[in-house]
Amino acid sequence: MQDRYVIVRADGTLFRTRKGKELYANEGAAKAAVTRHKDPTLRVLARQEYLANRPMRKVRNLMSGKEVEIPEDEVGGPCDPSMERYWTM
């Protein structure tokens, strides 16, 4: 399988364009997108490398009260057990 590339901010979170694009077919396409956005803090990583090193955050499970660790970019989303939306789906 061909590797995909992502753009990451300095704090380690995933960068998405205004149109919602986050995956690039090759490294050159991702680097071109970084150049277009003119932000020196953005960097290009292989998707597998990003997934292996993505920042985690501890949240409190809404039902059990226990702390769980989830990826930072999923906090507040439908995969966050500290949110009511997670339990009502």
pTM: 0.66
pLDDT at 53: 83
- Whether 1 shows a pLDDT value over 50: the answer reads no
- Whether 5 shows a pLDDT value over 60: the answer reads yes
DSSP letter at 72 equals G
- For the chain, the structural domain boundaries read 5-53, 56-88
Alpha helices in the chain (DSSP H): 27-37, 47-53, 84-88
pLDDT at 13: 81
Stretch 57-76: mean pLDDT, rounded?
91
